[in-house]
Amino acid sequence: MTYSYDLAADDDAAAVADLQAQSWRATYRGILPDDFLDGDLVAERRAKWTRRFADRAGMLTVLARDADGAVAGFAHSVLDDDAEWGTLLDNLHVRPGLKRQGIGRRLLAETAARLRVIVPGSRMYLWVIEANEAARRFYAAVGGEEAGRDVWDEHGPEVPIVRMGWRSLDSLAEPVR
């Protein structure tokens, strides 16, 4: 299947939230509390993304859409988030069942290419849950380097996280074949 890649529109908040909820339930079981994942996660995510989409200044959200226009994945970035590390790739999610088809890699490439225009010379980083080994391998395979550790405690107990960073966006922005 082929996908199109474009910037999110104001009315994409609900689709982004729904995809993130699906992704978290599939990926973070055993990492985040079950009562949080099994609760009204969709409503919680929709409220968060509606607030984010109400004022997207300083943010970049790239979507992957299937032939029917449904959101298959997204990458959300906060521009110039950190003086040292640059832009924060705050979210990268691909619909469960569509992983390992190049969608995530292409979302990274699209994001990096746009960032090179919007914020020339920008670096990029993200925080990944330490126990999410598949994601850590993916980011390392596309040139991300471990650059620190912290904890995330937004949704319950502290969860160890790892900073992955790119000193240059050049290799990420190369076209994906």
| pLDDT at residue 175 in the model | 62
Domains identified in the chain, total number: 1
Residue 34: per-residue pLDDT: 86
Q: Is residue 26 part of a domain?
A: yes
Residue environment code for 41-67, b if the CB has 16+ CB neighbours within 10 A, otherwise e: beeebbeebeebbeeeeebbbbbbbbe
Residue 177 forms part of a structural domain? no
pLDDT number for residue 142 = 93
The whole model's pTM is what?
0.91
Instruction: Decide if 76 is inside a domain.
Output: yes
Give the pLDDT score at 177.
47
CATH number at residue 12: 3.40.630.30
Q: Other C-beta atoms within 10 Å of 68: how many? A: 6
> Is the Cβ–Cβ distance between 175 and 109 less than 8 Å?
yes
| 10 lies in some domain | yes
Q: What is the pLDDT of residue 176?
A: 53
Per the domain annotation, does 15 fall within a domain?
yes
- CB 168 within 8 Å of CB 123: yes
pLDDT tens digits along 59-94: 999 999 999 999 999 999 999 898 899 999 999 999
pLDDT the model gives residue 172? 86
Name the nearest CA neighbour of 137 among 103, 98, 105, 170: 105
Residue 125 lies in a domain: yes
**Domain-located, residue 176:** no
Could you say which residues of the chain have pLDDT below 70? 155-156, 175-177
Residue 134: which domain range?
4-166
The predicted structure's pLDDT at residue 150: 84
Let me know if residue 95 belongs to a domain: yes
